[in-house]
Structure 1
């Protein structure tokens, strides 16, 4: 077994696994509409016409109806499970199996088992709900898929959250956002969870490119599914917060610095939500090494030490070629727990400071005593009132009196996991 110290820092990735090119796709869900310039005009008549066309184009023949497609759903789940399993074992071949990784894997298994009552309920919703559109194709690369979580009501265009999930750049997967998607959809917000290639299937440039292409799809096509292209919010969690921030800064450089035409615009984002993200990789290399994401592996993911600054949004916005355009970024709202051991809260603090110094609209929200997974998993599974969730909804529904009134009378969210299991999971969490 190869140890982590033997991996060359210029390692990129092995050949793409053959099975990733065979991911199940649904061509009925990939129709194209005009670019974002034309899609942004959403009149009432045009909106209703698009809804009728979308409903017609996405309706399946009777032989493929939900009640008759159980075997197809099982096959879909099996294919995606096989993909993740194959990539995991490929990764472990490079990492090697040492004491630290064995203990973390055991802790991860215990953590997942303790939260399993909630995970099973969310998985049932993910695979059976008619409000979920899974694996919509947004590009021609492996893993260029996204899941859509649609509100039940289709009376008017809905605000949209384009979400990039975390996973240490290694185990990210679109279904990790299903709990967020479910709960925001219940508040009349459409959610698009964007998948992307992970290491070793891809390196950081692939991940940022995939995320950007997924964002472009949302900007240009979300009206087909009832979303409002004038109310799109970009959000990322953990590694997803880093990747989505990189995509946003990279797009700003292309748009404002280089004048390059693109299929989406920074101005289309109403706000950016960064949850527990890391934005200066140069400061995090040693921290990640101590946490088990060894330096050689991390540098392989980031395409070498020379690329750390290029993929550090905090550093990039201070470069002369972009600092004059930072004020044109959308409002940047950063959330972080003060007892986050995976990515210290200082990562969000220093990024917020840099943004504010350069004239950007930036807000930092710290949650006292919250860990890396509390904000994204334990608190939502607990149900009831959730400060992070309420802040997201308040920002998204700001200025919409009808939506705010509906929020005020919404029923408390249902608890999915008993409190004792949540407390035990928090203690054994490897994150």
Structure 2
């Protein structure tokens, strides 16, 4: 890894030979006023009745029986190898094993709610699943398009959602219940998938998020979305990835130098606002806490790894924002580079809203309080809403299944439209099952 620029938080970095950041020419272009957009993806091959699988785009076309069987075997073998690699990190540790068992019981208790959610996910005409946003594995997204939204009509706000999953079990469908509330509220929603560990490191996950945000910004208008009203939302691990990507884009746009986590490049002004939900912003402060809950040090160190060494300080949004704020306060030396970097990055960042439950035992809400302070030190308008009694999963799943008010969906729609929201939704899972699930939830 090249040497990091002296910004106090390790956010700006020289370009590595392995391509962990954009090249100097692209980073310089990103520092201009106009947003730099990646080149458009080449068009997929024309439809054919039978063909082999040569690229990600081919997966949306009909396969010959032989190609389908070959692809299924290859995918099964790949997943088996990834599972073995993951098992080598967690082994038979009792904490991890207990958490896995609790997760199974949790899912079974909420099965009625999940069945309702999946019925909408697979059969609703509002859902366009598995839309490729890039050429690499798992660079797919689900689009939830409001009824009546189309090019030429009044554009609707756009929400890009980056799900959580401890950087290991994240999947785009986890946001389906939330996306249903949002699309019914009139927003175009893009739920991003991204590579998980051990298939990818956190830097590669950031590459996926950046690629997805750029794609949505360029293509939202095709589906009736307003690219000027794009809201970036990240939950849990997805909050770390989404905010880190946004901070990296702002840092390299302000400095003209490549930033770790800023590849591929897009302009931070492409995003009108950020909403963080139970976000894991303080990696250094969380490491020991997560270890005690079963996400062991050796596993988290490998996820947040650069050049074979753990790099919490370089991949933590809290550390990144504090580094930029320190550069702003200190002036960055005699030439004032740091002041220009910190001040320029802060001016490019959109307003932020952080939501966190006070009963969250997985990612304590203290991290969101620290994150608000770091963003405000950069001059970023940032509001923090602490939700009494809410756990780590309440906002995303249990609230959606138990019915009644949905504070998360209302907050996101309010941030997207600028209008207060107060909604009421039907129950999709019996209240006793939701209560029991909350008691056994491992998160």
RMSD: 3.0
Counterpart check, 1:422 vs 2:434? yes
- Matching of residues 345-424 of structure 1 within 5 Å: 345-398=365-418, 412-424=424-436
Larger relative helix fraction: 1
Contact 1:153 1:188 in 2 (8 A): no
* TM-score computed with the length of structure 2 as normaliser: 0.75
Which runs of structure 1 show a deviation greater than 3 angstroms over 4 or more consecutive aligned residues? 36-39, 78-90, 259-263
**Which residue in 2 is equivalent to 1:194?**
192
**SS of aligned partner of 2:229:** strand
Name the CA shift for 1:303/1:262 in 2 (closer, same or farther; >3 Å).
Answer: closer
Q: In 2, distance between residues paired with 1:345 and 1:234?
A: 20
State the alpha-carbon separation in 2 of the partners of residues 391 and 181 from structure 1. Answer: 13
Query: SS state of the match for residue 367, structure 2?
Result: helix
Runs of 5+ unmatched residues, structure 2: 1-33, 38-43, 49-61, 328-337
- Deviations 1:137-177 (Å, cap 9, x if unpaired)? 11111111111011112242211100100000011111111
Q: Secondary structure at the match of 1:285?
A: helix
Correspondence for 2:118: 123
1:337 aligns with 2:360: no
CA shift, 1:306, in A, is: 4.8
Aligned-residue offset at 1:262: 6.8
Q: Distance in 2 between matches of 1:153 and 1:86?
A: 44
The DSSP-based 3-state class of the residue aligned with 1:200 is coil
- Tell me the TM-score normalised to structure 1 length: 0.77
For the 8 Å contact 1:241–1:278, the answer to whether it is kept is yes
Task: Indicate the SS of the match to 2:198.
Answer: coil
1:301 aligns with 2:303: yes
Mean CA deviation greater in 236-245 or 281-290: 281-290
Q: Which moved more, 1:139-148 or 1:263-272?
A: 263-272
Q: Deviations over 1:181-224 (max 9, x none)?
A: 11110111111011111100000100011100100000111111
CA distance in 1, matches of 2:401, 2:230: 26
Residues paired across the two proteins, number? 360
Cα–Cα, structure 1 residues 365 and 253, in superposed 2: closer, same or farther, change >3 Å?
A: same
Distance 2:74 2:375 in 1: 38
- Secondary structure, aligned partner of 2:435: helix
| Distance in 2 of aligned mates of 1:240 and 1:216 | 16
Superposition deviation, residue 131 in structure 1: 1.3
List per-residue Cα deviations over 1:22-59 (Å, max 9, x = no partner).
Answer: xxxxxxxxxxxxxx9699xxxxxxxxxxxxxxxxx9xx
Structure 2 CA distance for partners of 1:332 and 1:151, relative to 1, 3 Å: same
Q: SS state of the match for residue 199, structure 2?
A: coil
1:132 Cα offset (Å): 0.9
